Amino acid sequence: MNINKEELINFDDLSLLFKMFSDPTRLKILNQLFDNELCVSKLAQNLKMTHSAISHQLSLLKINRLVKSRKDGKEVYYSLNDQHVAAIFEIAYEHINHD
């Protein structure tokens, strides 16, 4: 991709996106959601973290449109927002494991 980015890209938004991927906890959450829709309780259990810590990170991920949620009764279930999030995660993983 070789575009005159100065006019087309909002660098502040791009920086925020990469900031969301810079936290190990957020990456672990995204990894958990890669193929599964999960509630906060299940994420907390899987990652051995508190409900409030997971909720805080999920709110940041949701604000930045990396995850989406749906409510079912009292439970809120989270999943990746779209295939772009999965693609970014996969490409980054491939990059760091490339010889």
What is the rounded CA–CA span in Å between residue 2 and residue 77? 38
Give the predicted TM-score (pTM) of the model. 0.87
Q: Which residue in 50, 35, 34, 39 sits closest to 89, CA to CA? A: 34
At 58-76, the pLDDT tens digits run: 999 999 999 999 999 999 9
At 21-67, the pLDDT tens digits run: 999 999 999 999 999 999 999 999 999 999 999 999 999 999 999 99
Domains along the chain with CATH numbers: 24-97 (1.10.10.10)
